[in-house]
Structure 1
Amino acid sequence: MQTAERLMIVDDDEMFCHVMERAFSRRGFEVLVATDEEQALELARRSPPQLATLDLKLEHGSGLKLLPELLAVAPECRVVVLTGYSSIATAVEAIKLGAVNYLCKPVDADEVLGAFNRETGDPDIDIADNPPSINRVTWEHIQKVLQEHDGNISATARALGMHRRTLQRKLQKRPVRR
């Protein structure tokens, strides 16, 4: 008898976890669910997953900080980072830190499975006809500076020359569409 592939979902949105857990269970996976960093690492130590989805923005931390720790515990794990707060800076860092792919929410189980199974880049991907809006460029720049300061809001605000509360308000908003 063949054992099911183990997939871990790390996300602080319990409803999202529930939906994805059901979808992957129906596809024959053994599913583990963690809603924070500690729980994810504990589950990975007990039952190392072959696959994992990792939310970029967890309630009390960053999926980017958890990513190398998770891979240290489960080095064979293939991780796809999921986020509702996508930026070029975080996508690049996620791949550099060991993720096999990076997807913007909302996503479904089929998209995630496709991301796990995609081994190479696509040179034929569509290139946008128009440059990003100034609001999108601003969002990307804030994300890049935030990443450079390890998620420290105060240090990022100083580097950007803005008040900390102004930066916090900007970060609470959804990313601007291209």
Structure 2
Amino acid sequence: MPSNAKRPVIDLSGNTLEEIVEMLAQPHRRKAAVRKLMAAGREGTPVVRAGLRHDDPEVRVACCRVLDHFMDEEALPELIANVDHGHSGVRSAAIHALACERCKEGTCLPGEDDVVPMVVDALLHDDDRGVRQQAAGLLGPAVLRNQAAQAAIAHAHAHDPHPAVRKVAGWWVPGGSRYRKLTRRLGMG
């Protein structure tokens, strides 16, 4: 299809939420299915939680992304289970859904004491550079209030084998650009 041609609209209005979660496994329908699940909001979270157990890792990733915005406490066990999934994209999306403070549209945010150790472990021990990079970015905002986060960021900045992970961690060490911005915002710098 030429780049200037109009793409056909995928109409998912006649589908159940369960069918829409199944459509996440189809690359050509995935974006429309995510939009529909996002539009369903909290009404769709029970079905999206079930998608966290789907055989297709791309379905799990998409469900993590939806739950990132519409977190509910009942999703926590399934999200935590996906932190150790064999697919790096699933691990990264699950960590993001659990730890990202910016994306949440509701009031459910897992406790930092529960989440930071998982993110620290991912930053220091995950084999995938993308997961470690994601973990560094998610831990960064906690460096002024959590010693484990601060120590992990400093260690990754000095010792991670990948330059992109060291770069992201470097933003959050004292003197780093985001560290300075954070201290200014909190009236500390």
TM-score (norm 1): 0.30
Where is the helix percentage greater, Structure 1 or Structure 2? 2
TM-score (norm 2): 0.28
Where is the strand percentage greater, Structure 1 or Structure 2? 1
Structure showing greater radius of gyration is: 2
